Amino acid sequence: LSVFSVMSIMTSQYFLAEINNELKLVNEKLDNILEFLYGDKKAELLSEISFARYAYENYTSIMKHTELRVSVISNIYQSKKVAMKDIEFYLRDLERIVTKETKSSDSLNNCVNDSVQVAQSINLSLQLFALCCLLEALYGENTDASYVKYISSDLKLQNDRCEKRIIACFSGLQEKIKNYKGTPLKKIDK
């Protein structure tokens, strides 16, 4: 009975080690997928910003051609939707990064650096959203007071929403940094 017990313990330890190795491999693959997703998201955002800049800089020429104008308005709506999706994606990611447990000074530094990068992406997405709102009104030649008021309030609402969530995340991050207790041999610059 004791031989079987010892064999059982050894077998379970072996399988636990195998499972641990497999989980590390899966985690590495997930990190690679997440890295690819970030690259894809960033490329999409930069592409939409490039289009919005094109629409802004060629406004006079585009307005002379009805078909091109309709196409640009349609693409502005698509860019606006991309901006909204990216804003929400990056806000959720910022919240995930800030609430992630940090066990070492390196992971805390990574958390801070990742948070700053994601906040910059939120800012870019918000700028794209604002530019698309303005281009939408400009290309649509809609100067109706209620429409302009709606655009203005929508921009303010999105800006305030992002600002509040970013401030909340960075407040949590600041608290995490303040409460971090480094090792006696390795202090971090708080």
pTM to 2 decimal places: 0.77
* Mean pLDDT in residue range 95-103: 87
pLDDT of 175 strictly over 80? yes
pLDDT digits (tens, 9 = 90+) for 152-170: 999 999 999 999 999 999 9
Dig out the tokens for 29 from the structure. 């693959």
* Mean pLDDT in residue range 159-182: 90
For residue 34, the surrounding DSSP H or E stretch is helix 2-57
- Residue given tokens 């989980």 in the structure block: 23
pLDDT digits (tens, 9 = 90+) for 54-95: 999 999 999 999 999 999 999 999 999 999 999 999 999 999
Cα–Cα dist 181/169, whole Å: 20
CA 139-143-145 angle, 5° bins: 145
Cα–Cα dist 55/124, whole Å: 17
DSSP 36-86: HHHHHHHHHHHHHHHHHHHHHHTHHHHHT-HHHHHHHHHHHHHHHHHHHHH
pLDDT of 111 strictly over 70? yes
Nearest CA to 159 out of 108, 190, 122, 134 is that of: 122
Confidence at residue 13, expressed as pLDDT on a 0 to 100 scale: 74
How buried is residue 11: exposed, middle or buried, by Cβ count under 10 Å (0-12/13-18/19+)? exposed
Nearest CA to 83 out of 137, 136, 132, 125 is that of: 125
Cα–Cα dist 23/20, whole Å: 5
pLDDT of 184 strictly over 70? no
pLDDT digits (tens, 9 = 90+) for 6-61: 667 777 777 777 777 777 776 667 666 667 777 788 889 999 999 999 999 999 99
